[in-house]
Amino acid sequence: MDLVWKTRASVLALLFLGTLLPAQQWEKITIDFQDVLLKQDKPSYKAYALLKDRVDIRALEAGFRARQLPVDERARIVVQTLMDKATSTQPGFLEQLRSIKGISAGSLQPYWITNMVFFEGSRAAVYAVSELPEVASVGYDAPVEWIETESAPAPAPPSPNGTEPGLEAIGAPALWAMGYTGYGTRALIVDTGTEPDHPALTNQFLYHLQSQNSSFVGEDVIDCDGHGTHVAGTILGLDRLTNDTIGVAYEAKWMSGIALSGSCDNNTSTSGITGMFQWALNPDGNPATTDDIPDVINNSWRSGSTFCDADGVFETYDALYAAGIAVVFSAGNDGPSPETITPPKFNNWDLVRLFSVGNLNANNPSLTISSGSSRGPSICGGTGSLLIKPEVSAPGSTVRSAYVGGEYSFLSGTSMAAPHVSGAILLLKEAFPYLTGEDLMLALYFSATDLGPEGEDNDYGMGIINLPAAYQYLIDEGHIPELPRSFDHNARILRINTPEYNCGNTISLEAVISYAGPDTLQELVLEYQVGDGPVQTYEWGGLLPPGELQTLELPAINMPEGTYETVMGIVSANGQVDERPEDNFMKTTVTVLEEDVSPAMLIGDSVCTGGHALLQVLTDGNADITWHSSPTSNATLGSGSPFLLEDLTASGTIYAETSPIRKVGRPDNSGTNTQFSNQSRGLRFNAFYPFTLRSVKVYAEETGGRLLQLVKPDGAVTTRIVNVTEAGEQRIDLNLSVTPGEGYILRLNAGKPLMLNSGGFQGYPMTLPGVVSITSSTMGGSAYFYFYDWEISYQERCGRSMVEIPVSADSTGSAPAISSSVDTVDLAVSGAVNFSVLTDGYTNWNWYFGDGTTASGASVTHTYDTTGVYTVGLTATSTEGCTNAATRRIVVINSTPPVSTSVVDETPELLLFPNPAKEQINLQLKGGAFRDVQITLTDVLGRPLQQTIQDIAPSETITLPLSPYPAGTYLIIVEMAGKRSVHRIVKAK
């Protein structure tokens, strides 16, 4: 079938391209690229040029076998030979490519794993490259996509001390019992990334032994969607704190990366995969080292190319095999029809090249093959076993493994089957470290347990892999297994605990350790280093039986504010060096802040039994305060400062969460080059910590609606529609929640103009350290669009402040009662309020007026000068020596009308209730029906906030919402029949 397709495509391509290229040059364009050029008319094409002068990698590998070279020496020779060839041939060729019109110079990507250069160019440029004498062929840089699973992720619970049925089905526990756990081996997972701090994977991350750059491909160590984390879990997952075993080789290490060009944009091609394979041969950039390269590469992707046996592309795999690396592929989920093995694994130039794995159900004793598992035969032709696909099968149906967010899930597909094989290779590699990856794949191939039709077939391949049988097969072939490393003196670091933010320049570290030796751990020496600081030594002594956990609280370290890599290692256990040192090292990132939590305090001494406690937080500037019963609970006991905690009968602890309210951005529109515009522009900013953008200041040329948008880094958009009812300067409420990320935009998207500044130096970045940085406008650094004087709030990064509240068991007392001369103070008359204590039996009266001032005495007078709602607190000491407390709320208004406001007699009578109000206020006009009544809510300066015009029926109640506005004093203006009345209301907290 495929040969017929190839012939037809060649004829069509020849008819289409024959007038443009000489036949001998047309032959240099691969068949699949001919098809692309024939069917797709594009301004540019992604392609590769394969040079004629290349290393004969198969001949090099044959020489290795003939000389019986050790595996690590093979890898060094492969890498150096390939790099030398590229160094000697590519510089001049790259200059030629840069000189060809239509080639994007920035797209040139040379590789040495196969002597080839990827590029992007026009159709004419592709033809020109094919005419170069150095070029053997020009191929299509085909898109690559992930093999979708057969089902959506289904949540799965952890399973402490559990072992998954798929691991049992392939015989992994038999090798564990011999002591083989994958120790000292490495798996590279070419997938969507891997979650580094998943409890089943964090200890196995190779980063603890090497740099991040030689352990992960991509700027940030993440998983784009969970697929890669699930695969990694099946290869080597184990939560050491719960002994939940989900992986075959649970003491191996994983390397990973986002094979989608290093990002989550799902836009990669053969070039991106080739780059990841090249990285696998030399992760640390030093061709002389081999302990950094993987033993197996697990692949769960398919290429868009349907081209068989493309020399240059598949020489890449030969280079990996020659270096001793096993390469494993999922077969695909396009079954049950024949010839559905997906590319590139339908290629078959040797028994296990390329090695593909089918999906069977290990939850069923009959081990049935999944209907969706892709089937052979290979479309690339061949005879005998070469034609049959897949090579083997493994458990892949309803497999429980790790998932993003520290969770577990069930997934199904050949992507879940292949990692069982990769994990099995790691167990065999530990036992036979001197064998190549191909030797181990052949052992699994020839020892598989036959299923389905007798013999090798196009459903199961050779059958389900059988680890004990593969181990014995290698022994029968004359290979002697190495003994597993001794567990004597094997102490392990399981976790490094540190706060998300270490505050006050003080770092707190805890090491969670366990002991796997046969005796009892009595002494341990541990070293750790934070950043470039000095190496610290910690010595522990005690009794830790095998399998038990111990948390070591390490001495605090003082460091300047910043983010540091912390490295920790066990030097010795019971005075001896561990034979399994890879378990002894761990890294984490520590963030240090100069700031500290705002202190919360109990006002007074021990509280009387049954009495009230008065609590306050000392903050620098405005802040929202909430009170909680625990350091992490979201449930609140109340808000504000001071805060009254009532009816205490026993000592306890309470926690205050402080959310400072701060300003950032240009404070106003001062300066030259200001103008009004309604362009869809705005400001770019980065968020380093969650915050709420409460409000911004804008300048309006005219009234009317504006559509504002917050564009998030992932492209999602949150929209706010703002109605500006008065021209000029004003503050608008947004209340937008912002999570950490780089690349936010706050913009005006539609509506009437707002003022901006253009030209000159704007002062970017405008930063609130550790929280947010406004980096530029959407037009660059010489303009500032629309949004001034940002008001934001954020929870203090150092957590909650703890207050211990002692309750005196020997004293009781009823709470003191407070009287005030007025509850509502009108600054138009006087701001003075007289307070007194009505309850006897107390002394040492201390008053807190809510505006930062205090006084002492049984009777005091305080004068307010600013409108608002104030909580007045009193603490008093009883004759028994305990403290009790009380609070009272005072509302301060100013009935002096704005200069521009004319107050008329209220006709008809207007009722406002409740007043003060919280969420809404109700209005009712007494009397008959009224037409065209205009009701306006303004601030105390008369600036409109909302407005309605409507007819009102007799005794009808109108409701105005107040929840969008902060606590304070407002005006309600009613206009009808040529008359106008103004009324003061208070919005309470």
Which residue did the predictor score with more confidence, 960 or 389?
389
Which tens digits make up the pLDDT trace of 690-742? 999 999 999 999 888 899 999 999 889 999 988 888 889 999 999 999 999 99
Q: Identify the pLDDT of residue 140.
A: 92
Angle formed by the axes of helices 270-281 and 311-322, nearest 10°: 20
CA nearest neighbour of 720 among 729, 733, 730, 731: 733
Give percent of the chain with pLDDT exceeding 90: 68
| Cβ 430 vs Cβ 180: under 8 Å | yes
| Region 338-355 average pLDDT | 93
Q: Is 373 a catalytic residue?
A: no
CA angle 211, 294, 70 (to 5 degrees): 115
Q: How far apart are CA 280 and CA 297, in angstroms?
A: 9
Q: Is the pLDDT of residue 495 over 50?
A: yes
- Provide the token pair at 925: 């006009």
| Identified catalytic residue from 198, 227, 230, 862 | 227
Residue 66 has a CB neighbour count (10 Å cut-off) of 8
- Provide the token pair at 133: 């004498």
Q: How far apart are CA 715 and CA 709, in angstroms?
A: 11
Using DSSP, state whether 437 is helix, strand or coil.
Answer: helix
Local confidence band at 956 (pLDDT 50, 70, 90 cut-offs): confident
Which residue did the predictor score with more confidence, 587 or 8?
587
Same fold: 491-592 with 661-788: no
| Region 929-946 average pLDDT | 75
CA nearest neighbour of 586 among 554, 619, 632: 554
Local confidence band at 16 (pLDDT 50, 70, 90 cut-offs): very low
Q: Identify the pLDDT of residue 92.
A: 96
What does the buried/exposed string (b/e) look like for 621-644 if buried means 16 or more CB atoms within 10 Å of the residue's CB?
eebbbbbbeeeeeeeeeeebbbbb
Using DSSP, state whether 32 is helix, strand or coil.
Answer: helix
Token pair 């400062």: residue: 641
- Provide the token pair at 44: 């540019």
| Cβ 564 vs Cβ 530: under 8 Å | yes
| Region 345-362 average pLDDT | 94
| Cβ 403 vs Cβ 447: under 8 Å | no
Q: How far apart are CA 379 and CA 306, in angstroms?
A: 9
Helix%, strand%, coil% for the chain, nearest 5? 20, 40, 40
| Cβ 811 vs Cβ 720: under 8 Å | no
Which residue did the predictor score with more confidence, 673 or 427?
427
Cα separation of the two ends of the chain:
77
Local confidence band at 897 (pLDDT 50, 70, 90 cut-offs): low
| Cβ 496 vs Cβ 586: under 8 Å | yes
- Torsion on CA atoms 909, 912, 913, 916, rounded to nearest 10: -140
Q: Identify the pLDDT of residue 907.
A: 47
Cα–chain center distance at 709? 23
Q: Identify the pLDDT of residue 912.
A: 80
Q: Identify the pLDDT of residue 813.
A: 66
Tell me the fold of 910-987.
Immunoglobulin-like (2.60.40)
| Identified catalytic residue from 415, 641, 695, 776 | 415
- Torsion on CA atoms 313, 315, 321, 324, rounded to nearest 10: -110
Which tens digits make up the pLDDT trace of 115-165? 999 999 999 999 999 999 999 999 999 888 877 788 888 999 999 999 999
Residues in the chain: 989
- Provide the token pair at 61: 């590998």
Q: How far apart are CA 912 and CA 919, in angstroms?
A: 14
- Provide the token pair at 461: 């391949």
- Provide the token pair at 186: 């490495």
Quick one: CATH architecture of 154-476?
Answer: 3-Layer(aba) Sandwich (3.40)
Which tens digits make up the pLDDT trace of 644-662? 999 998 999 999 999 999 9
Give percent of the chain with pLDDT exceeding 70: 94
| Cβ 677 vs Cβ 750: under 8 Å | no
Q: How far apart are CA 446 and CA 391, in angstroms?
A: 10
Q: Is the pLDDT of residue 14 over 90?
A: no
Residue 615 has a CB neighbour count (10 Å cut-off) of 25
Q: Identify the pLDDT of residue 903.
A: 35
Q: Is the pLDDT of residue 397 over 70?
A: yes
Q: What is the DSSP letter of 413?
A: S
Local confidence band at 213 (pLDDT 50, 70, 90 cut-offs): very high
| Identified catalytic residue from 32, 35, 141, 191 | 191
Which tens digits make up the pLDDT trace of 283-294? 999 999 999 999
Local confidence band at 987 (pLDDT 50, 70, 90 cut-offs): confident
Using DSSP, state whether 91 is helix, strand or coil.
Answer: helix
Cα–chain center distance at 570? 30
| Residue 254 burial class via C-beta count within 10 angstroms: exposed 0-12, middle 13-18, buried 19 and up | buried
Token pair 């012939």: residue: 7
Q: Identify the pLDDT of residue 265.
A: 63
Q: How far apart are CA 437 and CA 281, in angstroms?
A: 14
Q: Could you tell me which residues come within 8 angstroms of residue 946 by beta carbon, excluding any fewer than 6 positions away?
A: 725, 936, 937, 960, 961
Q: Identify the pLDDT of residue 360.
A: 98
Give me the DSSP letters along 701-717.
SS-EEEEEEEE-TTS-E
Spell out the SS3 assignment of 471-515. HHHHHHCCCCCCCCCCCCCCEEEEEEECCCCECCCEECCEEEEEE
Q: How far apart are CA 14 and CA 196, in angstroms?
A: 51
Alpha-carbon distances of 564 from 282, 532, 554, 561, 567, rounded to whole Å: 27, 8, 17, 9, 10
Using DSSP, state whether 406 is helix, strand or coil.
Answer: helix
Q: How far apart are CA 913 and CA 713, in angstroms?
A: 45
Q: How far apart are CA 772 and CA 765, in angstroms?
A: 10
Strand partners, 135: 51
Alpha-carbon distances of 334 from 338, 355, 778, 857, rounded to whole Å: 9, 17, 45, 85
Superfamily of domain 491-592: Immunoglobulins (2.60.40.10)
Strand partners, 567: 529, 587
Cα–chain center distance at 857? 56
Least confident of 41-55, 342-356, 788-802, 842-856: 842-856
Q: What is the DSSP letter of 832?
A: E
Which tens digits make up the pLDDT trace of 432-453? 999 999 999 999 999 999 999 9
Q: How far apart are CA 143 and CA 304, in angstroms?
A: 5
Which tens digits make up the pLDDT trace of 365-385? 999 999 999 999 999 988 999
Peptide bond before residue 964 is cis, with ω within 30 degrees of 0: no
Q: Is 415 a catalytic residue?
A: yes
Helix H or strand E segment including 367? none
Q: How far apart are CA 605 and CA 616, in angstroms?
A: 14
Mean residue pLDDT of the chain comes to 90
Q: Is the pLDDT of residue 357 over 80?
A: yes
Q: Is the pLDDT of residue 977 over 80?
A: no
Q: Identify the pLDDT of residue 6.
A: 39
Q: Is the pLDDT of residue 476 over 80?
A: yes
| Region 452-466 average pLDDT | 96
**Rg (the chain; Cα; Å):** 37
What's the CATH number for 661-788?
Answer: 2.60.120
Least confident of 80-84, 805-809, 900-904: 900-904
Give me the DSSP letters along 137-182.
EEEE--EEEE---SS--EEE---TT-B-HHHHHTTHHHHHHHT-S-
Which tens digits make up the pLDDT trace of 595-625? 889 999 998 888 989 889 999 999 888 899 9
Q: How far apart are CA 574 and CA 583, in angstroms?
A: 16
Q: Identify the pLDDT of residue 12.
A: 41
Least confident of 32-41, 264-273, 335-344, 628-637: 264-273
Local confidence band at 172 (pLDDT 50, 70, 90 cut-offs): very high
Q: Where are the domains of the chain?
A: 2-141, 154-476, 491-592, 661-788, 910-987
Q: How far apart are CA 163 and CA 211, in angstroms?
A: 32
- Provide the token pair at 322: 């020659």
Task: Look up the pTM and report it.
Answer: 0.80
CA nearest neighbour of 57 among 353, 387, 429: 353
Peptide bond before residue 419 is cis, with ω within 30 degrees of 0: no
Identity of the residue numbered 248: V
Helix H or strand E segment including 89? helix 71-99
